[in-house]
Structures are given as structure tokens and as C-alpha cells.
Amino acid sequence: MEPNYSWIYLVIFLAIPLARILPRVIQKARGKEMPQPKRIQDNPFRPSYTSPQTQTQPPKTEPKKPQSKDMLVLGELNRGAHSFDKIQKNTGFTNQELEGILEKLEKDGFLKVVSKQGLFGPKVELFPTDKGFKEYYT
């Protein structure tokens, strides 16, 4: 007859976790609160002191330049939206509106259209040119 070592599994998988849980359960039953670990600041890289300059001066906000529809679309292209659907979703333009804007950008040289063969058929991707990148960020 072979010895039965199944009790080892009980020790490993039941006794060790119970040894960690039981003291907590007993303390809660007695009504004692367990000490909470110290909480780390939300932003550990923020200094704990405040400089006098930030207390007296309100934060400066640069005035945003008004953006045309062309610039909004060019901005989406520069941020990585390379398909018609993504640009339309992010800007909220109608199909005809966005189609006209994209044609104008392509005619002006701000946009490059690349046709690829995808898994489900032809796929059209839109990429900003260097001229389009410079136009948006100036």
C-alpha cells in the first residue's frame, strides 16, 4: 500500500490562506479596526510645497486661434485618424461636408491618399503631407 500525501495539498492550499485571513476576521468580530497602510499622494512627483508665484498669479492660458473646418480635419489627420470614418466620428461632419474638405486638402497638397488592398477589399488611407503637418502646427 502506497502512502497518501494528499494532506500536503490541504496545508498548501487551505491552511496558508486561512492563516492570513483568520486574524482579520477575528479582529473585525472583536470590533477592532485594523490599521490602514499609509496612503501615497495621488501624484508622487508633485512637490509637497507650493511656490509663492503659483499662489499669487493665476495660470496663463494662451488664446486659442479659431480653427476652420479644414484645420480641424488636418488636426485629426496629424493625430492619427487615417480613415474617413474615424475623421467623421471625431469631427462630427456630414459625409458631403467631409468629402469636400478632404478634396480641397488633397488639391492644396496638405493630404495624401493611399489605396491599399485590405483583407475585405480595397482600403483607402489618408495621410498628411509635410506641407499639411507644417500648416497645422504654424
Q: Which of 72, 67, 108, 79 is nearest to 93 (CA)?
A: 72
pLDDT in tens, 80-135: 888 999 999 998 999 999 999 999 999 999 999 999 887 888 888 999 999 988 88
Where do the structural domains in the chain lie, given as residue ranges?
A: 69-136
Query: What mean pLDDT value characterizes the chain?
Result: 80
127 sits in which H/E element = strand 121-128
**pLDDT > 90 in the chain, percent:** 25
- Which CATH number does the domain 69-136 belong to among 3.30.110.60, 3.40.50.620, 1.10.10.10, 3.40.50.970? 1.10.10.10
pTM of the model: 0.51
